[in-house]
Amino acid sequence: MDDASLKALLEHLPVFWWEVDETRRALPGRLPEEARRRSASEGRRYAAFADLVDLAPAAAFIRDSEGRYLWANHAYAHLYGTVPEELVGKYIEDFDEPAEADRFRTLDQEILDRGTPVRHTLGYRRPDGSAGRAVGHRFPVRENARTCVAGIYVDVTEHLRATVQWQEAQENLQALRDHSGLPCALLSASGRVVEASAAAADLFQVSPHDLVGRRAHTLLADEPDLDRLHHRWNSLIARRTRRVETSAVLVDAQGLQRRAQLHLTTIGHAAARARHVWAVVTHQSLAHEAHATLTAAQVRILSLLAEGSSNGDIATSLHLSRQTVDYHLSRLRHLLGAATRPALVARAYVLGILAPRAWPPRSATAAHPLSTV
């Protein structure tokens, strides 16, 4: 391969390269020696570049106008399951099917006729029989005083396949988000809504457009559980955990509250800190006006009431007097707007105070399945 062909290949090589040529002042009587040194230096430099091209990951070749290989690097020979020495001196038809060979000859002739480089995407048959895609340049070069065709291509088959799979995953995720009926939202690490489903917008009584961009904390009621939720959120972002199941009280545009079961899951693994979190609401209580926060004792009384315990049984279980239990039940009926014991239990469930899928009954905010508060 002569220097002109090598330079042409290097110009289209998909890696960074450069050359440095120091300008020396010619001294009288020493020009021939300086020229010899520079010639030897350039010879070493181009030899190094030739090795670079030969071992580059991009597939490169040079063919004459007859379709005969004059040179090929290892990456190109690997496409045919052989080595460069087996390619040189042979023709396109020796390695490609007739239809493929005719197409490649046509491309070569186009380059020779135009005399200018062409960048294009090329389809080919891989050694395993599957279809492959490569992108690169094909251009004219001078080789042994003849105009030949050179090409450098990068196989993008796996990249394209990964891109298609990513697009399909995105479409599936969007379909799940938009049509599952589950309120869900994609949150940034700072807690801002990036995407939201129609069901999530309905939950907060706003349009999806108005929900996107909101800070998540503005959608939550100010309650004691917020500190625990904030701590678990930080664990997610710091990747100390990948998913969290918790609960929170959501506030819609009308000021109504509802307790919701939240599933939080981080996206991706590459960065040291998570950049996005999917939040999915799996269960939600009935929307209601805000009421005073219940004490742990009051929630425990509700759970025992839901289990079927009498006032006396509740007093014994909690080591309280009967009068204290009667007072708490009266207070609970007032706070929750329930006139009877069955109504009080029903309200405790629909307002999200008691966990809907737990027996014995327990608090919906309990940190552990066996917790009672």
Virtual torsion, Cα 275, 172, 196, 252, nearest 10 deg: -120
Smallest CA-to-CA distance from 366 within 300, 312, 310 is with: 300
**How far is 71 from 90, CA to CA, in rounded Å?**
10
Ranges for all domains in the chain classified under CATH 1.10.10.10: 292-373
Write out the chain's pLDDT in tens, 373 residues. Answer: 655 665 666 565 554 434 434 433 333 344 455 545 554 554 454 455 567 777 788 899 999 999 999 999 998 998 888 999 999 999 999 998 898 899 899 999 999 999 988 888 877 777 677 788 888 889 999 888 889 999 999 888 888 888 888 888 777 777 777 777 889 999 999 999 998 988 999 889 898 889 999 999 899 988 777 888 888 899 999 988 888 888 888 888 888 888 888 899 998 776 788 889 999 998 887 777 766 677 888 888 888 988 888 888 888 888 888 888 888 888 888 888 888 888 888 888 877 788 777 788 878 775 433 334 4
Within the chain, all domains assigned CATH 3.30.450.20 are found at: 3-155, 181-284
**CATH architecture entry for 292-373:** Orthogonal Bundle (1.10)
The domain made up of 3-155 is a member of CATH 3.50.30.50 = no
DSSP string computed for 96-117: S-HHHHHHHHHHHHHHHHH-S-
Return the pLDDT at 2. Answer: 58
CATH 3.40.50.12280 fits 181-284, yes or no: no
Please report, to the nearest 10 degrees, the dihedral formed by the alpha carbons of residues 97, 102, 105, 109 taken in order: -170
